[in-house]
Amino acid sequence: MDNKILTDNREEELLERYELAGSRLREIADGEISDMGEALQLYFQRISCFLTGCLDLYEKVSVDALSKMSFEECQEENLSYYRDILPDHYENSFANPDFAVRALGEDHGKLLCFLYTELRSMRVYAFEQDKYKMTILLELFLEIYGMFAGGKVTYKQLRETIYWFLYDYAEEFCAGRVRQRLDPDLRFATDIIMDSDLSDLRYLYRYGEYISEDEIKTAEYLNTLSEKEIDDIARTFTEGFRRGFIWKGVDLSHKSTVNIQYNLGFERIIRKVILQFEEMGLRSVVFRSATSTLNKKQNIKSGYQSKSPNEQYEYDHRFDNALYLDKRMVDRKIDCMRKGFEAFREQAAGYAGPAIMEVFGREPFSPVRKETACHLSERQQNLDVEYASLSSELTNQYINQEERSFSVIAYPTPSIGERFSEIFHEIKLVNNLDNDKYERIQQSIIDVLDKAKEVHILGRDQNMTNITVALQPVEDISSQTGFENCLADVNIPVGEVFTSPQLKGTNGLLHVSEVYLEGFCYKDLKIWVEDGIVTDYSCGNFPDPEEGKALIEENILYNHATLPMGEFAIGTNTTAFVMANKYHIMDKLPILIAEKTGPHMAFGDTCYSHSESVRVYNPDGREMIAKENDYSRMRHESSMKAYFNCHTDITIPYGEIGMISAVMPDHYQVPIIVDGRFVLEGTMELNEAFDEEEPGQLSGPPTMEDQVGQWTAKDTGGQ
């Protein structure tokens, strides 16, 4: 697992294998003659040239030659590697399944397209000086080349060669991934952050990741801020993490590590974050987003990353595991993960949780669905769900979820537009809103909701939302509550009250005109719910409705046949909403902020997944009791039945809300929001942000007489 700790003999053996593979590779790249056919010859020559470039890069990194290059030279070197998959060149790239299948045929095209995609990780291994991973990938390529050079190759032969490579080396990749997330002694990225001259932007090219204008301009902008401004931004982030332990009543001093996830370009802030965590007694683990197919989860990234060179490329390869996923591989990956946790059991016990700095501002991505791309069969979808459950259960055996925290915050990147610096400043203000003010206002909402049996939400204008959310009963209102008063601790910025709804009695339609979730822009998204369970769904992304359903099934339901509603919340951050409207960036907000700008519902696990037994109290001292539902209550019987290992928030912005009302046991409705404005006593202060908004963006609030006449009907389904 740790190929850096080798005996002298193994070092010699590895060097011999590496040199033999490199020598053979260069022969192919130089144009070795073969009768395998023109298209295959072109494929192997292109890929071998790419791989020899990685070998050359390894040597340059080993002697620190890149430090002698100018910024422009670093930029060109970076671009030369990624050029093949950039949108302007992707049409004729063997990484594009359409082109690969067209050039190489359906049988070989998908597999060789997958192979090239997997081999592209060679670049980061060259930067990390990981000769072992480079060697085994080179040997895989040469084995497959030899098969084709030797005669006809069947689909089965090619697939089995790839399959057994992944199976045999699963420990290297899966157990190694566990270590990457837990071991602070792996300092590749940490050393870049802490030791580089961050005013010299060449440091960005030391990671080996794609570097776009986003990363460059972000770093340039942060270099214009004062040391105090950087320290304040970092402190908001790290203090949120620390408060998470206070909120849980857990002693942080028993923990030793925190892992940090961020987008390149933010190193000046991340350096401060690392130092501030050190003040808390925590060493930082900084790990790269997954490079091997064995560790990837669709196109969702976890770890440090940069702007995608081509989102369509990543979307095309999100289900490459369809080429090898079976029960045997699931068992193998779980076994290798277990070995990783056993080897780093002590680090797992000391793990305090993740600190995640998200970014936003890039153009919402609407994917093109390709038949030539890999797709999971129904059996594989079930296996994918099974693996997610098993890996989550295994992780929880070694990392006590009740004794860890997290912190999430988001900032824009320059992709957001010409007013980037203004928006960045505004987001900093949003991330530091007055906790005491929101605690008081949100308590007014909770006081009403704790007396209600359900909440009724209606959309307005073109929004067709009409849904009733059943609430779990609060038996002793003097000491218990059904909603958490969520302030700016782990989940920054401030601004929501949330609960785990009662499934039975939760019925209706959730509709959003446009929402940005996990990198995708969903248009006209509709989800129907019956007794808290998703029964149907659609979106308007594609002319064919079935393609829209497939997009939702894969990326919101995560291949589950259905999901329960795990959370209902009312967002209160009108400041964030007005800011987004002011700069016309509502469609670019991350869910972290967007969920605070209206009511939202999440499908999947509850917010208390795996932590149901932790006692949680609101600032007023009352204990939160609505932490589980009919599924999570089965956790003692079966973790796989209790948890879905996903949680996707979908927000209706204030501008699309006709009404949110608390429905009392006698059916009397108490309005909380009407036509996008807060009307409940104790919450009117939230409308001040609307009053500062540019004219014409929201209609004025109706009079209370109008509200009562319209919304206090006894029939909760009436309008």
Rounded Cα distance, 20 and 14, in Å: 10
pLDDT tens-digit map of 469-485? 999 999 999 999 999 99
Rounded Cα distance, 109 and 99, in Å: 8
206 shares a domain with 110: no
192 shares a domain with 161: no
pLDDT tens-digit map of 226-272? 999 999 999 999 999 998 888 778 899 999 999 999 999 999 999 99
How sure is the predictor about 717, in pLDDT bands with cuts at 50, 70 and 90? very low
Name the 3-class secondary structure at 56.
Answer: helix
How sure is the predictor about 33, in pLDDT bands with cuts at 50, 70 and 90? low
First to last CA, the chain: 63
Rounded Cα distance, 419 and 414, in Å: 8
Question: What's the pLDDT score for residue 3?
Answer: 46
Residue 602 falls inside a structural domain: yes
Answer whether residue 302 shows pLDDT above 60.
yes
Average pLDDT of the residues in 141-154: 93
Name the 3-class secondary structure at 305.
Answer: strand
389 shares a domain with 439: no
Answer whether residue 561 shows pLDDT above 70.
yes
Residue 708 falls inside a structural domain: no
Q: Are 456 and 716 in contact (CB under 8 A)?
A: yes
Q: Among 352, 377, 409, which residue terminates a domain?
A: 409
Question: What's the pLDDT score for residue 435?
Answer: 87
Residue 247 falls inside a structural domain: yes
232 shares a domain with 143: no
Answer whether residue 20 shows pLDDT above 70.
yes
Residue 140 falls inside a structural domain: yes
364 shares a domain with 473: no
Average pLDDT of the residues in 545-570: 91
Residue 669 falls inside a structural domain: yes
Rounded Cα distance, 467 and 446, in Å: 19
Sign of CA dihedral 316, 317, 320, 321: negative
Answer whether residue 542 shows pLDDT above 60.
yes
Residue 426 falls inside a structural domain: no
672 shares a domain with 613: yes
658 shares a domain with 611: yes
Residues linked to residue 522 through DSSP beta bridges, in sequence order: 515
Greater confidence (34 vs 12) lies with 12
353 shares a domain with 440: no
Question: What's the pLDDT score for residue 641?
Answer: 83
Residue 709 falls inside a structural domain: no
Which two tokens mark 125? 């291994």
519 shares a domain with 656: yes
201 shares a domain with 161: no
Omega of the bond prior to 493 within 30 degrees of 0, cis?
yes
391 shares a domain with 306: yes
Total domain count for the chain? 3
User: What is the domain extent for residue 368?
Assistant: 185-409
Answer whether residue 698 shows pLDDT above 60.
no
Rounded Cα distance, 34 and 28, in Å: 10
Question: What's the pLDDT score for residue 299?
Answer: 78
516 shares a domain with 628: yes
Question: What's the pLDDT score for residue 4?
Answer: 46
Greater confidence (646 vs 102) lies with 102
pLDDT tens-digit map of 344-360? 999 999 999 999 999 99
Rounded Cα distance, 654 and 637, in Å: 41
CA distances from 706 to 3, 449, 709 (A): 72, 22, 5
Which two tokens mark 334? 């779980």
Average pLDDT of the residues in 498-518: 92
How sure is the predictor about 362, in pLDDT bands with cuts at 50, 70 and 90? confident
Helix residue ranges, H only, 370-491: 378-398, 420-430, 435-449
Sign of CA dihedral 67, 73, 77, 82: positive
